[in-house]
Structure 1
Amino acid sequence: MNGRISLRGLRAKGHHGVYDFERADGQDFVVDVVLELDLSRAAVSDDVADTVHYGELATALVGVLTGEPVNLIETLADRLLTVCLADERVETAEVTVHKPQAPIPHDFADVAVTLRRSRL
């Protein structure tokens, strides 16, 4: 039974960006993750060991967000995808990185990059 685990709106302060002030001051990044995997074993066993523990996943993702700075949110999204696919049960992962305080001199609602990767 294929299914999805979604984690949306995970927020952490990181020091990513092209500009020196972004690296120095940091800013919030918001991440949405969707994992596709077989959830049949977990549905029957009712055991967290048979699925992706979303609390542990969130901690690992925050570690990337608050970790080594990168220039581009494309690179950041790729690193987050690697974390999501570290669990062999995950068949496909999609990560969206939002940069709500992007240095754009105009009003804007959102800046985001979405990457999707499958094992297949």
Structure 2
Amino acid sequence: MDKIILNGCRFYGYHGAFVEEQTLGQVFVVDLELAVDLTRASQSDNLADTVHYGLVFEAVQRQVEEEKYILIERLAGAICEDLFDQFVPIQSIKIRITKENPPINGHYRSVGIELERSR
């Protein structure tokens, strides 16, 4: 299956199990792989024959910046549900959400989760 990929999308949100995360917020990095049949778009050169990744970005941005979840697992699930509802050609989604600075004592680059969902 063909894929549309959005990497390193950065948003500021208020998700987390700790009060500090829900109050102060933090940056969330979202990576997406959307399985979509791009055959028609690859032949037509017509935006109507694909999934507009700018609109996908805006949908993800709304979920991360306007909603509030305790778990990033739920945030990822909500993003998948929203994308399936809005973009019928998407057959499956792989989403990774990372937090670069969660309130965990120690040395690491980031922590996160990855989900894969299909219709």
Sort the TM-score into its range (normalised by shorter chain): over 0.9
2:31 pairs with 1:12:
no
Which residue of structure 1 lines up, in the alignment, with residue 50 of structure 2?
51
Q: Is the 8 A contact 1:35 1:93 kept in 2?
A: yes
Q: CA–CA distance in 1 between the matches of 2:21 and 2:110?
A: 17
After TM superposition, the score normalised by the length of structure 2 is 0.95
Which residue of structure 1 lines up, in the alignment, with residue 82 of structure 2?
83
- Among all aligned residue pairs of Structure 1 and Structure 2, give the percentage whose two residues are the same amino acid: 36
1:58-88 deviations in whole A, cap 9, x for unaligned? 0110000001211111011101111232211
Gaps of 5+ in 2: none
Count of matched residue positions in the alignment of Structure 1 and Structure 2: 118
Which residue of structure 2 lines up, in the alignment, with residue 72 of structure 1?
71
Q: CA–CA distance in 2 between the matches of 1:84 and 1:32?
A: 14
* Cα-Cα RMSD: 0.9
Counterpart amino acid of residue 69 in structure 2:
V
Q: CA–CA distance in 1 between the matches of 2:80 and 2:57?
A: 12
Q: Give the C-alpha shift of residue 44 in structure 1.
A: 1.1
- After the TM superposition, list the runs of 4 or more consecutive aligned residues in structure 1 that deviate by more than 2 angstroms: none
Q: Give the C-alpha shift of residue 101 in structure 1.
A: 1.1
Which residue of structure 2 lines up, in the alignment, with residue 60 of structure 1?
59
After TM superposition, the score normalised by the length of structure 1 is 0.94
Q: CA–CA distance in 1 between the matches of 2:10 and 2:108?
A: 19
Q: Give the C-alpha shift of residue 18 in structure 1.
A: 1.1
Q: Give the C-alpha shift of residue 24 in structure 1.
A: 1.1
Q: CA–CA distance in 2 between the matches of 1:113 and 1:83?
A: 18
Give the match's secondary structure for 1:21. Answer: helix
1:1-56 deviations in whole A, cap 9, x for unaligned? x3110000000100111111111111000000000111011111101111010011
Gaps of 5+ in 1: none
